[in-house]
Amino acid sequence: MVLIGIWACVVTLASTFGASYWKTHRSAPADAAQHAEKLEVKKVKPITVPIISEGTLKGYISAEFAYVVEASSKAHGGGGAAVDADSYVMDEAFRRLYADNNLDFRRIEKYDLNSLTKELTKSINQRLGADLVRETLVKSFAFVPKDDIPH
């Protein structure tokens, strides 16, 4: 009986030591995980861009964008930041679409959205003076002919 009692005490002590050793040595990878980058997706209001061809209004591009920023970044208006990245995204998207000569409204499905989003991200970051926007995303993109709009 005494041997069983001693055996139970040894097993209990060994398991307690093993658990505490495992817990203290396990915390190092957890610290590394805390330093992992946390990203956040911010949506911006939809924009409507008039498409003018041969001097007449042909219709409108209706587009909605989002952008990815670091969660702790002040680029998205949080924490009393002075920079409103939403406005920059909307302005840059409007300018790009309005001035783009490669945009063929008759074949909108062939438009290179990858190129557009990469250019938007690059130019937004240039205007902000830092790499705050990680990626620009397209939520919706459509051409609405002028004749389809009710008066």
Using one digit for the tens of pLDDT, what is the confidence trace for 18-44?
777 777 777 555 555 555 678 889 999
Q: What is the pLDDT of residues 110-122, one digit of tens each?
A: 778 888 899 999 9
pLDDT-derived band at 140, boundaries 50, 70, 90: very high
* pLDDT at site 79: 46
**Are 138 and 112 within 8 A, CB to CB?**
no
Give the CA-trace dihedral at 118, 67, 81, 31, to 10 degrees: -100
* pLDDT at site 9: 73
Largest CA distance in the chain: 102
What is the model's pTM?
Answer: 0.66
Q: What is the pLDDT of residues 64-97, one digit of tens each?
A: 999 998 877 555 454 445 567 899 999 999 999 8
